């Protein structure tokens, strides 16, 4: 959205009008449509991301944590001297990331709601770029970390490796 105000800069408007490419009204219409399209696209992507995290990632994280916790208990039931360090460390990492996942998910929801109070189309587009998209990136970092830790049995979304291998 940062480049779009150049479209309606007086010098550019004069250039387009003088050469009969666009009228002033057409340029301002295009400007507003481009801002609206940008904001709507990021909004849809953010809602889709939240839905994927809530319906696919969170259940995968919870399911794998349960499996690890059960495995730790089962090993201890068989023999208290059996090592469970690997499982406990993995469970601890995933548990910490799951807390961060929830925080990032809530932050994204807050940023989406914050846009509702804005009226200016440029301010809306900038907020989507700076706040909403920024929150999406932060959430993505956590999901990428979890993807490397969660077993394939629980992870229902194609991994980067699967996507890259499918291109060959």
Identify the CATH number of the domain in which residue 108 sits: 1.20.120.1560
Handedness of CA 19, 23, 24, 26 (dihedral sign): negative
Q: How many domains are contained in the chain?
A: 1
pLDDT of 166 reads 85
- Which residues, 6 or more positions from 76, have their beta carbon under 8 angstroms from its beta carbon? 82, 84
Q: Where are the alpha helices (DSSP H) in the chain?
A: 10-18, 24-52, 58-78, 85-115, 121-127, 133-149, 160-166
Q: What does the pLDDT look like over 66-88, one tens digit per residue?
A: 999 999 999 999 999 899 999 99
Q: What does the pLDDT look like over 99-144, one tens digit per residue?
A: 999 999 999 999 999 999 899 999 999 999 999 999 999 999 999 9
Residue 147 has pLDDT above 80, yes or no: yes
Residue 168 has pLDDT above 80, yes or no: no
pLDDT of 33 reads 98
Q: How confident is the model at residue 163 (pLDDT cuts 50, 70, 90)?
A: confident
- Residue 1 corresponds to which tokens in the numbers above? 């959205």
pTM of the model: 0.88
Print the domain residue range for 123. 4-166
Q: What does the pLDDT look like over 24-60, one tens digit per residue?
A: 999 999 999 999 999 999 999 999 999 999 999 999 9
């Amino acid at each position: 959205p940062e480049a779009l105000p150049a479209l309606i800069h007086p010098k550019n408007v004069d250039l387009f009008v003088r050469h009969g490419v666009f009228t002033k009204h057409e340029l301002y219409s295009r400007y507003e449509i481009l801002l609206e399209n940008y904001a709507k696209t990021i909004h849809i992507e953010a809602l889709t991301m939240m839905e994927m995290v809530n319906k696919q990632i969170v259940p995968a994280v919870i399911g794998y944590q349960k499996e690890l916790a059960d495995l730790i208990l089962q090993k201890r039931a068989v023999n208290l001297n059996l090592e469970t360090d690997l499982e406990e460390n993995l469970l601890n990492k995933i548990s910490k990331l799951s807390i961060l996942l929830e925080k990032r998910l809530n932050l994204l929801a807050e940023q989406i709601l914050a846009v509702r109070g804005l009226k200016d189309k440029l301010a809306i587009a900038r907020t989507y770029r700076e706040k909403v998209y920024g929150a999406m990136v932060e959430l993505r970092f956590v999901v990428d970390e979890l993807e490397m830790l969660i077993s394939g049995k629980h992870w229902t979304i194609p991994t980067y490796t699967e996507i890259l291998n499918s291109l060959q």
